[in-house]
Amino acid sequence: MKSYFGSLPNGNEVYKYKLTNGYMSVEIISYGGIITNINAPNSKGKDTDVVLGFNTLDQYIGEHPYFGAIIGRYGNRIANGKFSLNGIDYQLAINNGKNSLHGGLIGFDKVSWSVKELNNNGDPGIKLTYFSKDMEEGYPGNLQIDVTYILTKENELKFFYEAITDTLTIINLTNHSYFNLGGESSGDILDHFVSINANSYLPVDENLIPTGEIRNVKNTPFDFIEMKKIGLEIEIQNNQLIYGKGYDHCWVLNDYGEGIRKIAEVNNLATGINMEVYSDQPGVQFYTGNFLEGSLKSKELKKYEKRSGFCLETQHFPDSPNQPSFPNVILDPDKKYETQTWYKFSTKKY
């Protein structure tokens, strides 16, 4: 279902698309490919909106930390916005301290996507397309990107990312939804239970750039192998948690290279809403909304205070173009970039 959502200052119209499957619904706008709402029933059958977002286009155009958006060309940080490819040095826009974050000043979260509605064997979906020109935001290569969202009968919201380029470039696409399985206006996410299928994570320096070390999570606050409350160890005085102001790190997922596998699960005891995450990616940035500070208004007009949402951004490792030991993020003109991530919703009591 398609409806008019508003117009951008340049006159471009923005539409909202609603995918429903009888159990839950997902709403997406053509600006930034932003997921504005995910409504899923709680254990009592009451519809609960589990993603942070806004009611109006103006708020999405304004300042906000990437709520619900498609992130690219390079999700996460590139140190000093510099990298080199084929002997050529590139300089990206610096928009996060000394670094380039999430694609630069006008990343894929701030552009209009063309949208085609789909029916995938009875499952509703949309395909979003964007053409990013050679040297846009400093990245080489004309890049054609397709992102497909499908809502299945099994209550999975599936994301399929595809891209092709005409020149060697780098790419790392993800989605930046902030979840709160207690409801988007229900306060902080500290009592959610989370598990992440990762035996190690990437420690960072004070600028949140990975040091290159791959550190075992054992006996650290980063151990989420078993379901653990987000809030249990988040305030421990540990350099890593101080740098991130909480969790804002990339976990090194187990079984990379073996296709799509379950990488994380989250549960909210109050609503019983459960979310499983599946992906073929090597990493996930688990970010606990540490930089939210009450200036943004929720859909129910409450304040989004610190840690009122969490993100599980499936991706390649931050700063990979400058870290030869990390899996490679180079896209060759002869190859196609393809990756997928699924979020599966249910209710479950732990």
Q: Where does this chain bind ligand GLA (CB under 6 A)?
A: 65-66, 101, 208, 248, 285, 287, 291, 311, 313
Q: Which is nearer to ligand GLA, 31 or 67 (CB)?
A: 67
- Among residues 101 and 266, whose Cβ is nearest to ligand GLA? 101
Concatenated DSSP letters for 175-204?
E-PPB-TT-TTS---TT-EEEE--SEEE-B
Q: Which position's Cβ is nearest ligand GLA?
A: 65
Phi/psi of residue 58, nearest 5 degrees: -55, -40
Q: Please report how close the Cβ of residue 100 comes to ligand GLA at its closest, in angstroms.
A: 12
In the complex, minimum distance from the CB of residue 283 to ligand GLA, in angstroms, rounded to a whole number: 12
Contact status, residue 256 vs residue 282, Cβ threshold 8 Å: yes
User: Do 342 and 277 contact (CB within 8 A), yes or no?
Assistant: yes
Residues 207, 130: Cα–Cα separation, whole Å: 31
Q: Is 316 a catalytic residue?
A: no
Instruction: Please answer whether residues 307 and 290 qualify as being in contact, where contact means their C-beta atoms are separated by less than 8 angstroms.
Output: yes
Tokens for 121, please give them: 């064997």
Contact 125, 115 (CB under 8 A): no
- The residues near 174 (Cβ < 8 Å, ≥ 6 apart) are 70, 71, 72, 75, 76, 285, 313, 314, 315, 341
Q: Which 3 state secondary structure label does DSSP give 286?
A: strand
Phi and psi, residue 13, nearest 5°: -85, 145
Catalytic residue chosen out of the listed positions 176, 192, 249, 316:
176
Give min distance, CB of 76 to ligand GLA, in A. 6
By beta-carbon proximity to ligand GLA, the closer residue of 40 and 311 is 311
Nearer to ligand GLA, 97 or 333 (CB): 97
Report which of 272, 174, 187 is spatially closest to residue 231, judged by C-alpha positions.
187
Structure tokens at 302: 């409450």
Local structure of residue 58 (DSSP, 8 states): H
Least Å from the CB of residue 114 to ligand GLA? 26
Beta strands in 44-134 (DSSP E): 47-49, 70-71, 77-78, 82-85, 88-91, 100-101, 114-120, 123-132
Q: Give the other-Cβ count within 10 Å of 105's Cβ.
A: 12
CB closer to ligand GLA out of 68 and 272: 68
Active site residue 192: no
- Which one, 150 or 296, has the nearer CB to ligand GLA? 296
Q: Report, in Å, the least distance between residue 225 CB and ligand GLA.
A: 22
- Name the residues annotated as catalytic: 176, 313
